Structure 1
Amino acid sequence: MNDTVSFGYEDVAPDEKTRRVGGVFSSVASRYDIMNDAMSGGMHRLWKDRFVRRVKPRAGEQILDMAGGTGDIAFRLAKSGAAVTVADINPQMLEVGVERAQKRGIDGLVWTEANAETLAFPDRFFDAYTIAFGIRNVTDIPKALREAHRVLRRGGRFFCLEFSTTLWPGFAEIYDAYSHKMVPKLGQLLAHDADSYRYLIESIRRFPDMTRFEAMIGEAGFVQTNVEPMLGGLVAIHSGWKI
């Protein structure tokens, strides 16, 4: 672990990042899904649908959805009959998810406050581990990946949905201008919080590119790693297997 880690465009002490990221998600929890729709034009729903299709959840499986507080991925996974545990470091995000599940009449999910870097689950417990738009907010990403590997059974699968850097000429410049100028304004308008959304955009820029992140997944012990870019890599589905 380095002496400093990135918090947006700043380099801060690891404990400081953990504290600040907690503050960001406590601030935006109640408006998180509305902002996702506004920022992506609703496309995040299609990305998540595609992501869960790649996971191929099955009835009776044990699946850990990490950083899944609002339930978006868990609700999709649970339709298969899988036993889904939703874990998130932020209690406010979990509160939103529990409330949404109650309103939708979705029972059977397990909700737990947990840090991706220090999971309390036993070794080789889950059949699949999912994390959507959460890994870049983890303070020690390699440690979290090793924990994901630890809690998976042999033959278990890891799937991560995360923003990256689009390689499409022209679109990259357009998206860069939109995200830096418009997203904080949307954050202020819809969530009354421009700074948190400014951080979320900056955190995408500081996140490793697709090739490097795929290598990090392999370094954590996963094999048959794969990356599936969408919109030229603006968003990517990363996967790997534990043998």
Structure 2
Amino acid sequence: MTQNLTQDVPQHLAPSADLPTPHRPRAGRALLWGLVPLLSVGLLSWLPLGWLAVRTRRWTHGLSAAAYAIGALASLILIPEDESDNAWVWLLVAVWFCGLVHTVVAFLMLRDGTTVKDTNRQALQGAVAREARRREARAMLAGNPAVARDLRIGRPDLPRTYDDGGLVDVNAVSAAVLVEHVGWTAHDAEELVRVRQRLGRFAGPAEVIAYTELSPDQVDAARDLLVFSA
């Protein structure tokens, strides 16, 4: 199981196809959070960025939140009652304006609420789901080859609706398909097709290693994707 999950997976099998991230309107979210510094006259400019720091675990958001909090607190404490010194008033205005712009921009750039932990969990779940589909498709190919042919298992080059998890039928596909979906070089794929035409078919990975220039490491790396139809 571990070996299957850690091997390289071709780009067309991206986990996002299995588990799409729910869409959240960025503009509406950004404007709502922007009301916090706007309506609080900058005094709560730290709050949206503090929430972002906790949500995304980015220290830059935390540092910005701390700076806005210090600026707002300093303005409240140090603004003189007789308004003889406007410097602290302008500081509060700067906290107000910068906090508003910073909040809106930061939320517009937020990746639909996902975090690295969320993305990793989705990637793992996607890999496990694809492996389960490959296992099911292999069982179908071994137990009921006629149905497997109808479902076009291992034939990503043909129109089909059945998802076999990315299997590739070494005895049926072209060199271009082997290059695109298995990741072998054009030279290796074309050489395999020539040998296949001479032999008729490969019985399994061992014959691919024995009769072609592909190394055992190359074949083993792709073994989880390969099937050999009769």
Do the structures match in fold with TM over 0.5? no
Q: Which has the higher helix share?
A: 2
Q: TM-score, normalised by structure 1?
A: 0.22
Q: Which has the higher strand share?
A: 1
Q: TM-score, normalised by structure 2?
A: 0.22
The structure whose Rg is larger is 2
